[in-house]
């Protein structure tokens, strides 16, 4: 029993430490959380994408910082897509929950591409950034095509 209790406590502590297992008081909070994380991610990604497209003057330092923030933010939204968070002020399609394995694959793909973008941005090589922006934008788009209404 002692071991079981210790295991349970350890598992509980782990759950609290890992954002992917975050708990929310209300579904509305989870929805706001994931939208907030995606918004901050998008703002930082689109700054780098704007530089890659020549719409914003290239600043290697800003690109590296923005890509690092976008990469970190890409880890967070998924905890907000828990069970019961499909209804409310959301554009998430029901398929997020009915095709969870596929959705999770897209989420992993995005995080992987964001990681590569952060590495490219840190290198300061605009060509590498351009190619990573393309791949990352593709990951954004494929998930939106399948899982976002509108």
Binding residues for ligand ASC (CB under 6 A): 42, 45-46, 49, 137, 140-141, 144
Least gap, CB of 120 to ligand ASC (angstroms): 16
Q: To the nearest whole angstrom, how small is the minimum distance from the Cβ of residue 58 to ligand ASC?
A: 17
Min dist. Cβ of residue 40 to ligand ASC (A) = 12
Closest CB 39 distance from ligand ASC, rounded Å: 9
| Residues listed for the chain | 150
Q: Which is nearer to ligand ASC, 42 or 131 (CB)?
A: 42
Question: Cβ(127)–Cβ(52) under 8 Å?
Answer: no
Looking up tokens 């690092």, which residue turns up? 68
How many Cα atoms are found within 13 Å in the side-chain-facing hemisphere of 9? 6
Rounded Cα distance between 33 and 80, Å, is: 6
- Residue whose CB is less far from ligand ASC, 52 or 79: 52
Q: Which is nearer to ligand ASC, 46 or 66 (CB)?
A: 46
Give the nearer residue to ligand ASC in terms of CB position, either 22 or 146. 146
Q: How far apart are CA 69 and CA 92, in angstroms?
A: 23
Between 50 and 82, name the residue whose CB sits nearer to ligand ASC. Answer: 50
What DSSP string describes 62-129? HHHHHHHHHHHHTTSGGGGG-TT-SSSS--B-THHHHTHHHHHHHHHHHHHHHHHHHHHHHHT-HHHH
The residue number whose beta carbon is nearest to ligand ASC equals 137
Q: How far is the CB of 49 from ligand ASC (least distance, A)?
A: 6
């Amino acid at each position: 029993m002692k071991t079981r209790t210790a295991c349970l406590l350890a598992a509980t502590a782990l759950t609290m430490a890992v954002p992917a297992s975050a708990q929310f008081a209300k579904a509305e909070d989870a929805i706001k959380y994931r939208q907030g994380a995606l918004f901050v991610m998008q703002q930082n990604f689109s700054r780098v994408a704007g530089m890659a497209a020549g719409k914003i003057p290239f600043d290697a330092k800003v690109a590296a910082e923005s890509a690092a923030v976008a990469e970190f933010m890409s880890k967070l939204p998924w905890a907000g897509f828990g069970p019961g968070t499909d209804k409310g002020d959301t554009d998430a399609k029901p398929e997020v929950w009915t095709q969870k394995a596929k959705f999770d694959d897209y989420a992993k793909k995005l995080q992987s591409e964001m990681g590569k973008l952060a590495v490219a941005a840190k290198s300061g090589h605009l060509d590498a950034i351009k190619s990573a922006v393309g791949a990352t934008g593709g990951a954004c788009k494929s998930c939106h095509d399948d899982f976002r209404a509108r």
